């Protein structure tokens, strides 16, 4: 039950602006998403105020780095969609562009997670491990990821 609730919360915390642009409302700004994420982690892992400050800085830096890539990803998906529906572009090139951007986002998010994880005590790391793949927001091989999803 706890894992399911964590996955639901993570999906809402890490929803990309593109997700909201599809008619689900206005996305929160990155600072708000980071604040919610860090607060959730603070509650789950009993973070100290110093850890909260460090986590906020780490995830804010990652969100800032990810923002232009997420915009590029949304544009790449639009290009692919246009080519699927009669455009003259190359679908393989469209798919490769999307994959490249997604890989860059994965590296940004994973580095932020690694930095955060290294800041935890052994007890906190054990708590996070016990949550399974959902500990950082439900990112498994195909989950939403850290500060945005695939932008679809």
Q: pLDDT higher for 144 or 107?
A: 107
In 3D space, the residue among 40, 32, 54 whose CA is nearest the CA of residue 10 turns out to be 40
CB 127 within 8 A of CB 44: yes
- Other C-beta atoms closer than 10 Å to the C-beta of 137 total 25
Q: What is the pLDDT of residues 9-50, one digit of tens each?
A: 344 444 444 444 445 677 788 999 999 999 999 999 999 999
pTM to 2 decimals? 0.72
pLDDT for the residue numbered 132? 81
Q: What is the mean pLDDT of the chain?
A: 81
Neighbours of 38 (CB within 10 A): 23
Question: In whole angstroms, how large is the CA radius of gyration of the chain?
Answer: 16
| pLDDT more than 90, % of the chain | 66
At 33 the pLDDT is 93
| Residue 141: per-residue pLDDT | 40
Considering 9-23, 76-90, 135-149, the range whose residues carry the highest mean pLDDT is 76-90
- Give percent above pLDDT 70 in the chain: 72
Query: Does the structure show a pLDDT above 50 at 91?
Result: yes
Three-state secondary structure readout of the chain: CHHHHHHHHHHHHCCCHHHHHCCCCCCCCHHHHHHHHHHHHHHHHCCCHHHHHHHHHHHHHHHHHHHHHHHHHHHHHHHHHHHHCCCCCCHHHHHHHHHHHHHHHHHHHHHHHHHHHHCCCHHHHHHHHHCHHHHHCCCCCCCCCCCCCCCC
pLDDT-derived band at 135, boundaries 50, 70, 90? low
């Amino acid at each position: 039950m706890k894992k399911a609730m964590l996955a639901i919360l993570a999906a809402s915390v890490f929803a990309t602006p593109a997700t909201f642009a599809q008619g689900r409302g206005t996305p929160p700004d990155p600072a708000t998403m980071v604040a919610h994420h860090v607060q959730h982690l603070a509650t789950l892992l009993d973070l100290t105020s110093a850890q909260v400050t460090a986590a906020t800085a780490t995830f804010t830096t990652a969100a800032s780095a990810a923002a232009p890539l997420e915009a590029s990803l949304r544009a790449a998906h639009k290009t692919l969609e246009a080519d699927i529906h009669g455009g003259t572009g190359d679908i393989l090139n469209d798919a490769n562009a999307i994959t490249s951007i997604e890989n860059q986002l994965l590296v940004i998010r994973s580095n932020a997670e690694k930095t955060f994880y290294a800041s935890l005590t052994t007890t906190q790391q054990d708590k996070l491990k016990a949550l399974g793949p959902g500990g950082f927001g439900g990112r498994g091989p195909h989950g939403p990821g850290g500060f945005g999803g695939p932008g679809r």
